[in-house]
Chain A
Amino acid sequence: AAVSNSSLTSCFTMNEIALSPNNHEVHIYKKGGNNWTKIHVLKEHNGQVTGIDWAPESNRIVTCGTDRNAYVWTLKGDAWKPTLVILRINRAARCVKWSPKENKFAVGSGSRLISVCYFEQDNDWWVCKHIKKPIRSTILCLDWHPNNVLLAAGSCDFKCRIFSAYIKEVEEKPAPTAWGSKMPFGEVMFESSGTAGWVHGVCFSESGNRVAWASHDSTVAVAEGGKSAVITSLTTETLPLLCLTFITENSLVAAGHDCYPALFVYDAGKGTITFGGKLDVPKQSAQKGLTARERFQNLDKKATSETKEAVLESLHKNSISQLSVLEGGKAKCTKFSTTGMDGGMAIWDVKTLEASMKDLKIV
């Protein structure tokens, strides 16, 4: 079954993944040696699970789904117990992310708004506030700024925006950032321009001073915060990218419908983003020789006499829908994972990639 969502985490002593095999459930696998065993199945959603995020410090999992609900799961003894969070949305939830301090989480949905949820001690339940304006379509992706207040959101209204998700009940007023100093809840600190297409993936750099996004018009862009934000974009010759992450302050790994992760390098000085290379170099398969008859048949049928069969040589056999940093953080990433619509998950080692590809330089 296609793994449409997953959240990988290396908890304190364990190596565990939470993923959803494109249905109503969340499965938790534990790594033992070279094997993964399913240790838990979380059943509560009434609709497909669209987002999962695992908070490593507090060891809680938040899930959201097409049933318009979100659940916060806590480990009680040997089992994960769900707590319902009322999102007050009338369309499917699409993505969910814990804030860095794990005291809030944000849910993007088809209701054209973001539900920012926090725990209300007095009533012992989760409540949420809505960020609505000026969002005009489904929110597809979210990423938090390291200050726990700013939230980047990519939407089907073709925009990437940075909002303030400041909740006075759980935090102090934030210090000024590159995106501005006044951050009342819901304030738009940045709105993208210059790219078209739905924004499938969004990511803050480790410092929070840069935000990158991937759009359906086969572009990848970076905005640098400042008095006025500087936007740099790259139009690619490939199919649209669906997910991306910073692996250093200047380098991005992105992947999507072409089924392989690729490196992009941002040069603030030159104001450019350049393609840094494919990170998935397939082993060359032996070419079969073609008889003259086969060549002629190919020429007749396909107007080409090449032997290329319609087989994907990349590791993933279908679109890559999610990219996650596993080790090293977004400034010095050493390992990242990709999950795809082919139901596969791969773990990539940055050092190994750098060593095996001669022109690959990660700056």
Chain B
Amino acid sequence: MAKNTLSSRFRKVDIDEYDENKFVDEHHDEAPDQHGPDAVEVDNLIRQGDMMAAFHIALRSPPNSKNPVVKERALAVVLRVLTSFKSSDIEPAVKSLDRNGVDLLMKYIYRGFERPSENSSAILLQWHEKAFAVGGLGSIVRVLTARKTV
């Protein structure tokens, strides 16, 4: 049986690192490091029943670090708020957002779709319907083209 007796270590070299034309993604971190919404604060508001406030706080400072742990935590907080909403309250909540807010909400909705839990998809679809009514296809396109993901 033929056996490769030559070293194949060269296959582990990342040749793209040596390409002087390599695309280096510059992430201009103009904004100060944001770590996502405060889970405790949001939890308190949910318990008090102030869903609108919880909603706004959850969407207020999206994490802009690349740290997956930070992102997971922020996603969990936002999904908790979204799944705790009553169907009838969804539309006014979406209407209270500005253009950027709707785009951000849409990003979280699609992240939420990625890993469905018990009843999350059903309520997320309702959120999607209302957000789409305001943001249109453009907001979905921006989920796909965003350089900064949530």
Chain A positions near chain B (C-beta within 8 angstroms): 112, 136-137, 157-158, 193, 196-197, 215-218, 235-240
Contacts and interface: CB of A to CB of B under 8 A. Distances in A.
A137 B23 contact: yes
Contact of A218 (B28, B142, B147): B142
Contact of B141 (A136, A157, A158, A216): A216
Given A136-B23, A137-B23, A157-B23, A237 B145 contact: no
A237 B135 contact: yes
Given A217-B141, A217-B142, A218-B142, A238 B136 contact: yes
A196 B23 contact: no
A218 B135 CA distance: 11
A240 B144 CA distance: 12
8 contacts: A112-B21, A157-B23, A193-B28, A196-B145, A216-B145, A217-B141, A236-B136, A237-B136
A197 B147 CA distance: 8
B23 A235 contact: no
A153 to B, nearest CB: 17
Contacts of A240: 141
B99 interface: yes
A196 B103 CA distance: 13
Q: Which of A197, A216, A236, A237 counts the most B-chain CB atoms under 10 A from its CB? A: A237
B53 interface: no
A218 B23 contact: no
A198 B23 CA distance: 14
Given A157-B23, A235-B103, 10 more contacts: A137-B23, A217-B142, A217-B145, A217-B146, A218-B137, A218-B138, A218-B142, A237-B134, A237-B139, A239-B137
A353 B128 CA distance: 36
Contacts, number: 44
Interface string B121-150: 000000000000011111101100111000
Contacts of A237: 134-139
Nearest to B28: A193
B146 A218 contact: no
Given A112-B21, A217-B142, A235-B99, A158 B147 contact: yes
Contacts of B28: 193
Interface string B10-51: 000000000001011000100000000000000000000000
Nearest to A136: B23
Contacts of A112: 21
Given A112-B21, A137-B23, A238 B137 contact: yes
A236 B147 CA distance: 18
A106 to B, nearest CB: 20
A238 B99 CA distance: 13
B63 to A, nearest CB: 18
A299 to B, nearest CB: 16
Interface string B62-86: 0000000000000000000000000
Nearest to B134: A237
Contacts of A136: 21, 23-24
Contacts of B21: 112, 136
A167 B61 CA distance: 49
A157 B21 CA distance: 13
A158 B147 CA distance: 10
A231 B139 CA distance: 21
A218 B24 CA distance: 24
Contacts of A193: 28
